[in-house]
Amino acid sequence: MLNIVVMVSGGGTNLQAVIDAVESGEITNTRIVGVISNNKNAYALERARKHGIKSRCISPRDFASREEFNENFISAVDEWEPDLIVLAGFLVVIPPAMTKRYQNRIINIHPSLIPAFCGTGFYGLKVHEAALERGVKVVGATVHFVDEGTDTGPIILQKAVEVEDGDTPEILQKRVMEQAEWQILPRAVDLIANGKVEVRGGKAFVSR
Ligand code: GAR
């Protein structure tokens, strides 16, 4: 059984996709042991509560220094002894000590086809604004392992989505979530839970 901790900052629709997939059996061998948010007002926390999943709020704002936050953050995660950490719209930088301790055991959903529109400053709606500004015709989402860089770790799954005439960043964001994110994040968790993802030479290989 793969014990996962999901980290969130906002609405939590990706968390919901994972919860639903666990409950429906689309994701197998997996238990969500806890949800961590840096934002006490995140609707994602309500989603966890409704499904009887434990949650915890921990924010850099509550600590005198980033070092102090990082130490407490890592201890909070360790207490749940996760096999896998799932970043589902989590907007806090993961401390290097955590990426080291949980090497190839942290995954992130990013709302673009990496390496396009990723890295520092590219998150949430900003990604879709940048894609429309550039005039690309295809966008999408990526699930990748988290390493010490920003959106640089091994890519597990990607799914493309077409840009349509008249798209606004909000419309495009919704289409990318519906057609890509809510599908590939649960699928990646299920693949990992069933031993089908392997990292070799800095790349992820998926067997199906
Ligand atoms: C999602 O679109 C996710 O891909 C993005 O934040 C949104 C969270 O929505 N993540 C990033 O931009 C990370 N760089 P949600 O709270 O409804 O799942």
Please provide the size of the chain in residues: 208
Q: What residues form DSSP beta bridges with 84?
A: 4
Cβ count near 75 (within 10 Å): 10
Residue 128 annotated in active site: no
Interacting residues of 176 by C-beta distance below 8 A, sequence separation 6+: 111, 128, 139, 140, 141, 161
pLDDT tens string 57-102: 999 999 999 999 999 999 999 999 999 999 999 999 999 999 999 9
Cα→Cα distances 141→23, 105, 154, 156, 164, Å? 23, 19, 14, 11, 16
pLDDT at 200: 97
Nearest CA to ligand 1 atom 16: 12
Task: Please report the pLDDT score of residue 208 as a whole number.
Answer: 79
Q: In this structure, what token pair is assigned to residue 138?
A: 């295809």
Contact 178, 196 (CB under 8 A): no
Encode burial over 167-206: b for 16+ CB neighbours within 10 A, e otherwise. bebeebbebbbebbbbbbbbbbbbbbbeeebeeeeeebee
CA-151 nearest atom, ligand 1: 14
pLDDT tens-digit readout, 116-147: 999 999 999 999 999 999 999 999 999 999 99
Tell me how far apart the alpha carbons of residues 63 and 11 are, in angstroms, rounded to a whole number. Answer: 24
Q: Is 110 in the pocket of ligand 1 (CB under 6 A)?
A: yes
Q: Whole-number mean pLDDT of the chain?
A: 98
Instruction: Kindly report whether the global pTM for this prediction surpasses the value 0.75.
Output: yes
Q: At what angle do helices 169-176 and 125-134 cross, to 10 degrees?
A: 110
188 closest CA partner among 160, 151, 155? 155
CA of 190 to the centre of ligand 1 (A): 19
**d(CA 9, ligand 1 centre) in Å:** 8
The answer for residues whose C-beta is within 8 angstroms of residue 164's C-beta and 6 or more apart is 171, 175
Which of 181, 182, 183 is the best mutation target for the ligand 1 pocket, counting ligand atoms within 8 Å of the beta carbon and taking the most?
Answer: 181
List pLDDT tens digits, range 5-54: 999 999 999 999 999 999 999 999 999 999 999 999 999 999 999 999 99
Quick one: how far is CA 194 from the chain centroid? 19
Q: 125 alpha carbon to ligand 1 midpoint, in Å? A: 9
Cα angle at 142 between 44 and 199, to 5 degrees?
110
